[in-house]
Structure 1
Amino acid sequence: MSFVFVLLAGAFLPIADFFIVNVALPTIDADLGASPALLELVVSVYGIAYAAMLVLGGRLGDRYGRHTLFRIGLAGFIVASLACGIAPTIGFLVAARIVQGMTAAALVPQVLATFHSTLDGPRKVRALALYGATSGIAAVVGQLAGGLLVSADVAGLSWRPIFLVNVPIGLAALIAARTVPANKSPHPIAIDLVGTVLFAATLTALILPLTEGQASGWPSWTWLSLAAAVALAVITVAVAHRAESAGRVPLLPPSLLKLPSMRKGLPMIGLFSIGFGAFMFVFALLVQDGLHNDALRGGLSILPMAVFFFLGSVLSPRLIDRFGRGALAAGGTIQAVGLAALILIVATGWPEVSLRSLAVPLVLMGGGQSMLFSGLFRVVLADVPAHLGGVGSGVLITVQQASLALGVAILGTVYVTMATVSVPAAFATAIGTQLAIVALLVALLRILPRFTSTEQAARPMPVEV
């Protein structure tokens, strides 16, 4: 199973790159003279492009070979990362981030789809658990690495190494990709160009005004864009139903979304990701802009969460096998306690809040959410037929990435706006919302399977799609 770790390495880079810029935003601002709205775009356009093209990336892998698309996507991601690293203006950086997101969308779906089609039984369960762990670890390690690289000021390049570091790592993964077995769907599905365009337009019309609205004073175009997003969403759903009724497989197949594991797990993954994306963005701003720490301290501050997320991810498969939904409930409860403690410490200690005082709550959050995250990822693809593995994987990661971008756009904007008046109140509002989301997820765990055995979780149900 050595190829599993090659695929995970390839998936690590795009996931980390969503978060690695968080601690570098003040430095990018100082270097390129970006407005707050443009700085948020550096984060959000990557998520929009990534989420909008993910299902298409999965579909292309099903048709032309997942190994081929993995290598093409990884090569494109390396080139786009280089372009980000040499960006002379903020506009160039935003454009390069869009390309980076699109190439990531060609790369990442092949990972889960390859696991789904080449592994079975306990090996598949372990691989899916490792992917869930990698997703979470990449997020916190990305933020940590961003702080270290910015503070190191390698060769006087300031923030640029956060992107340039992808080049040597990506090249090593590209060389090792020879070990990945060639595989593709035995029943490749036609590319749904209309559905892809409609879905991309819907995401853009929704997330762009949420990101830019507050900074620009909510001009008329933001409201028109939100209204257009609703209309486009209705059209997208109608076109998908019509395509499926005609015997075609649309970009987001309604029948696939009706599978029990998808119907129950996807909304929960979405809610979790909204809170997670918002936390990583807000916490970075709190530590640097609010508590006036440099990028190095900003990155290191997340280390307790990173370490215990990793440890929890290693232990989670066995704990979930033994205790089932109880392990997820315990993880969510521990995460909620950590969030509540963070809010209390910031509210009562401001402005003399030390990073050391935040360590224990971050430990609780890292260990707790690793359990919840791994369990949710494990359940979503359980019912997806193997020949639709690419489509199912694309849908899963699309929901995750779109929700991460939504979390930054909505709760990140709430924090930035309120922080001009009161940082503790802004932090309590944004992170309190995440706390409410976690509490809701714990309450909803009863609708998930019991995880009584690895074989049950790994065996797809025979569903005709």
Structure 2
Amino acid sequence: MTKNQGTPPAPGPSVTQSPPDPTAPAAPGLTGTALLVVLTGYALSNMDAFIVNVALTTIGDDLHGGPAALQLVVSGYSLTFALGLVLGGRLGDAFGRRRLYACGLAAFTLTSALCGLAPTIEFLVAARLAQGAAAALLVPQVLATIQAATEGQARARAISLYGATAGLSAVAGQILGGLLVSLDIAGLGWRSVFVINVPIVLAALLAVRKVPATKADRKPGFDPLGTVLFGVSMVCLLVVVVEGRELGWPWWLWSLLVVAAVAAVALARVERALERRGGSPLLSPTVLSHGGMRRGLAALVPFSIGFGSFMFVYALIAQGKFGLGGLASGSVLSPFASAFFVAALFTPRIAAVLGRRIVSLGAVVQGTGLLLMAWVIGASWPRPPLLLVLAVLAFIGIGQALIGPTLFRMILADVPSAQAGMGSGVLVTSQQMATALGATVGGTLFLSLAGSLSEASAAVLVLALLACFSAVVFAISLRLPDPA
């Protein structure tokens, strides 16, 4: 098991730590170049979930795609991405994380090029599905490699950079997408939002040998029944979360939740039985039962729901009501991204002083920022002072940076190095699902309230609700273990 170093646990609830194995080999370490290589793949895969949004109108005009097809260009990527994360992590444990990361990068390069060359809307949808699957292959290897190759403060710094990359790339995707479409480089138009991936990923591929090769000491077996049950549960849930608003919430869509619940219960029983027999379940009940992972995920889900909802509702408000275009509204998020990035770099030092209270502090800062944004919008609608909006966005970014990277460390703290891929897959899947759910619920709620109330009142109510999610994170943070 990888040794965990950090601040001594504070009095109160704690998790049981397994003693370090004196015979275990030391972590190989992660150089700055290697960390840059793995974070590059993660940043691009995260950006591609957002970068296409501002190009949809141009894509529809060029490829004659209707609203349903354009929705699939966006949601198809998210569907296959979220669906394949756990399996991608498990494959990395079995066959080597660097090998799977390289394969994922190569597939991401190819599928990005296919997206950029798409002659029809149907071809583009298929390429986006494949691109999401490629991202699912490479993304779990990033955290898994950090978990297996580092320890102590080196791990804390690497995970902080991972968290900073997450926030920065999400915002950068919207800004870069608008910029590329506006510049129309070499007459490529919307195709440049996909083509730009190719040279960057190829450069990462050339340097991938700098990444240490890690994998489980014993090759885990395959779990076909668990994989099928997990896939059924995830597909049903993802269709409801990602497509519900576009489909108008028909009755048959809700029946998929019943199917997902039945498949999830069956999956839990199958995995427990397989582990008792000494097999290799896709989702190990023992690993998932660790206090750090269980409580950390309990806080990560409402945190990610709030993030997804805020980003989506902000885009609706800024573009439609602040009078900003796609590029301008994305650029206004720069203070949020910058504050998130800078604050995330200092979370290891802050956590060394505050311990688990860093999450409590982040929840207070984030909730206060959301309430301030609600007040600004309510008091000065429809043209709030731009400088005040920028300042509040930066404040919210600081709060989120104190929470996100710290929760990543807590969730993975007790995961053995041999199962780092599985643990990373579970973490990123939970994060992606909750973010998508937040965008769906927040967007639906805002649009519904705006139809019956004023738009200002709808925005204020949604932001107040998101502050309640921050309160939930605060309550859960009181029972979290100290960051390891």
Q: How high is the TM-score relative to the length of structure 2?
A: 0.87
Aligned to 1:122: 153
Change in 2 beyond 3 A, CA 1:21/1:417: farther
Give, as a single letter, the amino acid of the residue that structure 2 aligns with 1:434.
L
Aligned to 2:459: 427
Alpha-carbon shift at residue 376 of structure 1 (Å)? 0.7
Aligned to 1:72: 103
Change in 2 beyond 3 A, CA 1:414/1:359: same
Give, as a single letter, the amino acid of the residue that structure 2 aligns with 1:317.
P
Alpha-carbon shift at residue 281 of structure 1 (Å)? 2.1
- The answer as to whether partners of 2:174 and 2:327 remain within 8 angstroms in 1 is no
Give, as a single letter, the amino acid of the residue that structure 1 aligns with 2:100.
L
Aligned to 1:223: 254
Aligned to 2:140: 109
Aligned to 1:318: 349
Alpha-carbon shift at residue 36 of structure 1 (Å)? 5.0
Q: Deviations over 1:225-278 (max 9, x none)?
A: 232222222222222223223222221111111011111111211221122122
User: In 2, distance between residues paired with 1:33 and 1:226?
Assistant: 33
- Identify which of 428, 447, 452 aligns with 2:479: 447
Report SS of the residue matched to 1:328. helix
Aligned to 1:365: 396
Alpha-carbon shift at residue 9 of structure 1 (Å)? 1.4
Aligned to 2:22: none
- Identify which of 161, 167, 175 aligns with 1:144: 175
- The answer as to whether partners of 1:4 and 1:127 remain within 8 angstroms in 2 is yes
Aligned to 2:196: 165
- The answer as to whether partners of 2:245 and 2:440 remain within 8 angstroms in 1 is no
User: In 2, distance between residues paired with 1:425 and 1:88?
Assistant: 44
Change in 2 beyond 3 A, CA 1:439/1:158: farther
- Identify which of 419, 422, 427 aligns with 1:391: 422
> Are residue 436 (structure 1) and residue 468 (structure 2) matched?
yes
Alpha-carbon shift at residue 53 of structure 1 (Å)? 1.0
Of stretches 198-207 and 284-293 in structure 1, the one that deviates more from structure 2 is 284-293
Alpha-carbon shift at residue 20 of structure 1 (Å)? 2.3
Aligned to 1:61: 92
1:197-346 to structure 2, matched below 5 A, reads 197-346=228-377
- The answer as to whether partners of 1:37 and 1:212 remain within 8 angstroms in 2 is no
Change in 2 beyond 3 A, CA 1:27/1:302: farther
Aligned to 2:20: none
Aligned to 2:15: none
Give, as a single letter, the amino acid of the residue that structure 2 aligns with 1:294.
G
User: In 2, distance between residues paired with 1:97 and 1:412?
Assistant: 23
Report SS of the residue matched to 1:447. coil
Q: How high is the TM-score relative to the length of structure 1?
A: 0.90
Change in 2 beyond 3 A, CA 1:45/1:175: same
- The answer as to whether partners of 2:106 and 2:205 remain within 8 angstroms in 1 is yes
- Identify which of 393, 398, 409 aligns with 1:378: 409
Give, as a single letter, the amino acid of the residue that structure 1 aligns with 2:209.
R
Alpha-carbon shift at residue 308 of structure 1 (Å)? 0.6
Q: Deviations over 1:196-219 (max 9, x none)?
A: 222222122123134333433333
- The answer as to whether partners of 1:277 and 1:407 remain within 8 angstroms in 2 is yes
Of stretches 21-30 and 277-286 in structure 1, the one that deviates more from structure 2 is 21-30
Change in 2 beyond 3 A, CA 1:210/1:378: closer
Change in 2 beyond 3 A, CA 1:448/1:213: closer
- The answer as to whether partners of 1:328 and 1:371 remain within 8 angstroms in 2 is yes
Of stretches 391-400 and 340-349 in structure 1, the one that deviates more from structure 2 is 340-349
User: In 2, distance between residues paired with 1:77 and 1:367?
Assistant: 32
User: In 2, distance between residues paired with 1:332 and 1:308?
Assistant: 15
- The answer as to whether partners of 2:357 and 2:478 remain within 8 angstroms in 1 is no
Give, as a single letter, the amino acid of the residue that structure 2 aligns with 1:445.
S
Give, as a single letter, the amino acid of the residue that structure 2 aligns with 1:385.
P
Change in 2 beyond 3 A, CA 1:217/1:445: closer
- The answer as to whether partners of 1:53 and 1:196 remain within 8 angstroms in 2 is no
Work out the number of aligned pairs and report it.
Answer: 452
Aligned to 1:463: none
1:153-192 to structure 2, matched below 5 A, reads 153-192=184-223
Aligned to 1:351: 382
Q: Deviations over 1:291-324 (max 9, x none)?
A: 3422220221111101111110122111111222
- In structure 2, list runs of 5 or more residues that go unmatched: 1-30
Of stretches 70-79 and 356-365 in structure 1, the one that deviates more from structure 2 is 356-365
- The answer as to whether partners of 1:70 and 1:108 remain within 8 angstroms in 2 is yes
Alpha-carbon shift at residue 38 of structure 1 (Å)? 4.7
User: In 2, distance between residues paired with 1:407 and 1:33?
Assistant: 30
Q: Deviations over 1:352-411 (max 9, x none)?
A: 345444211101011111111121111111111111111111111111112222222322
User: In 1, distance between residues paired with 2:55 and 2:462?
Assistant: 21
Give, as a single letter, the amino acid of the residue that structure 2 aligns with 1:233.
A
Change in 2 beyond 3 A, CA 1:41/1:358: farther
Give, as a single letter, the amino acid of the residue that structure 1 aligns with 2:124.
L
Give, as a single letter, the amino acid of the residue that structure 1 aligns with 2:199.
P
- In structure 1, list runs of 5 or more residues that go unmatched: 452-456, 458-465
Change in 2 beyond 3 A, CA 1:211/1:55: closer
User: In 2, distance between residues paired with 1:35 and 1:442?
Assistant: 43
Of stretches 137-146 and 174-183 in structure 1, the one that deviates more from structure 2 is 137-146
User: In 2, distance between residues paired with 1:38 and 1:357?
Assistant: 38
User: In 1, distance between residues paired with 2:240 and 2:98?
Assistant: 37
